[in-house]
Structure formats: C-alpha cells, structure tokens
Amino acid sequence: MLQQTSVEQVQEVFEEFVEKFPDPESVVAVSEKEITEEIEPLGSQKRTKYFRKASHDIIEQHGGNVPDEQSELLDLHGVGEYTAASVLAHAHGKDAVAVDTNVARVLSRVFGLDAADEPSAAENWDLAERSAPAGRCSDYLHALIDFGSAVCTASNPKCSDCPLADLCEYHEQGA
C-alpha cells in the first residue's frame, strides 16, 4: 500500500482493509470492485490487481501463508525489494530494511551523504542495513519513517527540535 503513497494516507485505509481482508483467501474471495472501493483513497487501480494476484500466488504456492524468505516474496506479482523487506521486517520480525524516501532522507542527512550527488538507492540501503539494530528492524524503520515525516521533513526540516542535531551532518552544514 505504501508504494507511491504517504504513511498518513495508508494509515487511514490499512486497519479497515486488514480487518475486512485478514488473509489471502479473503482477498481472492471478493470482487475486484470491493477491493478497489476499500483502497480507493490511495489511488492506482493496479494495486487491486497486485493484491489479488499476489494473494492467489500465496494460496497456490505457499498454502495461504505469507512467505518469510525474500526470494519467495520477490516471486510474488507486484512485490519488489521494498515490499519484500517491509514484509520480512514488519510481519516476520526479520532483520531486513526497507528504504523509502523518509528513511533515505534521514540517513542521508544524519550521515552526511552529499545530497548534491544524490546518493544511490544502493548506498541508502547499505547505510540502512549497517545502522539498523539487530532484532529491531521493524521498530527502527517505523521510527525513521515517523521521524522523517514529522521532524526531518523534505522541506523546512525542524532542525531546532531535532534530538539528532548534534550528530547530524546536514545540521552541521548550516541547513
């Protein structure tokens, strides 16, 4: 749901969606129209097709259980690196990092990756993996996403309110 969508937008939809569709079987049991109506505030009707196809594959290939291996998740329709890592960290409690724009921004600023050089996705993922505490990736990712959304925002970051200001390369450079 987070693909090309803010955390705030997804939060409005997610809980009700999971309550109505708690497992892959419930997703494939209803019409595409019903799913589309539930996720309509998020836009992109492709999501409905992705949810249904991935749910079907989970039922057929994994007995209805969401895979807990990255390679198996990546084999599902519409699942890329970010989604696979998110599922591993949040649903299975595994040490996996998912780097969205908030995570990349916070890490780039704090650790001084030169924004002018636009750190590559690989650099951001590598930094996230190296800085994530073992056994706490889900908490770590939630914290970075929330922090990037509330304090270390894309425009007008709240550096004066930032608890990391003394450690932050971006702040040190006078941002």
- What structural domains and CATH numbers belong to the chain? 7-79 (1.10.340.30), 101-172 (1.10.1670.10)
C-alpha closest to that of 14 among 33, 5, 153, 54: 5
Average pLDDT over residues 129-155: 93
Quote the pLDDT of residue 12.
Answer: 76
Specify whether the CB–CB gap between 164 and 156 falls below 8 A.
no
pLDDT, residue 48, reads 85
- Write down the pLDDT at residue 27: 94
pTM above 0.85, yes or no: no
Task: Encode 92-127: b = buried (16+ Cβ within 10 Å), e = exposed.
Answer: eebbbbbbbebbbbbbbbbbebeeeeebeeebbbeb
Reduced DSSP (H G I as helix, E B as strand, rest coil) percent helix, strand, coil of the chain, to 5 = 65, 0, 35
Give mean pLDDT, residues 146-152.
Answer: 92
pLDDT band for position 16 (cuts 50, 70, 90): confident
DSSP calls for 49-71: HHHHHHHHHHHHHHTTPPP-SHH
Tokens at residue 52, please?
Answer: 């249904």
Contact 140, 133 (CB under 8 A): yes
Helices in 40-163 by DSSP H: which ranges? Answer: 46-62, 70-74, 81-86, 101-110, 121-131, 137-150
